[in-house]
């Protein structure tokens, strides 16, 4: 590191500490040639990871965007900003841990859902209903059923068996699991 005053390339670090945001190291250096002091910052390189969207478009990974999404889902919910910041940090960690250059947006979406589910169920359902392309209402109900169950249990299970015996006759042929449409996994 060249001294900004005399351009000598010889200095010693006299002090070293984390910056206010914690993402940089601030170093106080002293030039061994002229004796003057200056400060350098060592900062983590901006994440080069890009997010691959559903339509194939790429955009830079943006932690603020995730935070905004979380804030929206947690609007008027008892979830602190600290908790949301922690979630973003965890998600960013997962992403950079598992992907080198590109991450599918679905991966991030699933992480967000998993985190929200732990913190606030209302926020979770809000996010899930927007994020997931639920094909129909039934699919959405499947998703939130565990949450509804726990609520029904509290309220005293009054409507435990809707429809009664009718249900089995009216249903289709037990879903179409065998027909190979369950999960597409393209080879390349
Ligand atoms: Zn100097």
CA distance 112 to 127: 8
Q: How many CB atoms lie within 10 A of CB 22?
A: 7
Q: Look at residue 172 and tell me if it is in a domain.
A: no
CA distance 88 to 170: 45
pLDDT at 48: 75
Count of CA atoms in the C-beta half-sphere (13 A) of 61: 26
pLDDT at 169: 44
Q: For residue 50, is pLDDT > 70? A: yes
Is residue 32 classed as helix, strand or coil in its secondary structure?
A: coil
Ligand 1 centre distance from Cα of residue 19 (Å): 24
Q: What is the pTM of this model?
A: 0.51
Ligand 1 centre distance from Cα of residue 12 (Å): 11
Ligand 1 centre distance from Cα of residue 31 (Å): 5
Q: Look at residue 175 and tell me if it is in a domain.
A: no
Domains of the chain: total: 2
Same domain, 29 and 102: no
pLDDT at 97: 86
Residue range 36-48: average pLDDT? 79
CA distance 8 to 116: 53
Q: For residue 20, is pLDDT > 90? A: no
Q: For residue 178, is pLDDT > 60? A: no
Ligand 1 centre distance from Cα of residue 43 (Å): 23
Ligand 1 centre distance from Cα of residue 40 (Å): 14
Label residue 15 by pLDDT band (50, 70, 90).
Answer: very high
> Dihedral sign, CA of 10, 15, 20, 23?
positive
CA distance 128 to 32: 59
pLDDT at 170: 41
Ligand 1 centre distance from Cα of residue 142 (Å): 68
Domain that holds residue 130: 50-154
Q: Which of 108, 106, 107, 112 is nearest to 125 (CA)?
A: 112
CA distance 108 to 88: 10
Same domain, 79 and 145: yes
DSSP label at residue 173? S
Q: For residue 91, is pLDDT > 80? A: yes
> Dihedral sign, CA of 96, 97, 100, 104?
negative
Share of the chain above pLDDT 70, in %: 66
Ligand 1 centre distance from Cα of residue 23 (Å): 27
CA distance 24 to 141: 45
Q: How many CB atoms lie within 10 A of CB 171?
A: 10
Residue range 154-178: average pLDDT? 47
Same domain, 39 and 96: no
Q: Look at residue 179 and tell me if it is in a domain.
A: no
């Amino acid at each position: 590191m060249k001294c900004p005053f005399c351009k000598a390339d010889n200095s010693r670090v006299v002090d070293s500490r984390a910056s206010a945001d914690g993402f940089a190291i601030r170093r106080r250096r002293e030039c061994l040639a002229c004796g003057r002091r200056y400060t350098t910052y060592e900062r983590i390189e901006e994440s080069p990871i890009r997010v691959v969207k559903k339509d194939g478009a790429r955009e830079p990974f943006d932690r603020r965007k995730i935070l905004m999404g979380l804030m929206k889902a947690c609007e008027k919910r008892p979830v602190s900003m600290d908790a949301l910041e922690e979630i973003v940090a965890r998600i960013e960690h997962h992403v950079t841990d598992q992907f080198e250059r590109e991450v599918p947006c679905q991966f991030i979406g699933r992480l967000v859902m998993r985190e929200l589910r732990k913190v606030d169920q209302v926020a979770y359902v809000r996010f899930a209903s927007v994020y997931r392309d639920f094909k129909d209402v039934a699919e959405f109900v499947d998703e939130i059923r565990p949450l509804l169950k726990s609520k029904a249990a509290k309220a005293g299970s009054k409507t435990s068996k809707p429809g009664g015996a009718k249900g089995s006759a009216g249903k289709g042929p037990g879903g179409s699991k065998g027909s190979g449409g369950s999960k597409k996994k393209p080879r390349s």
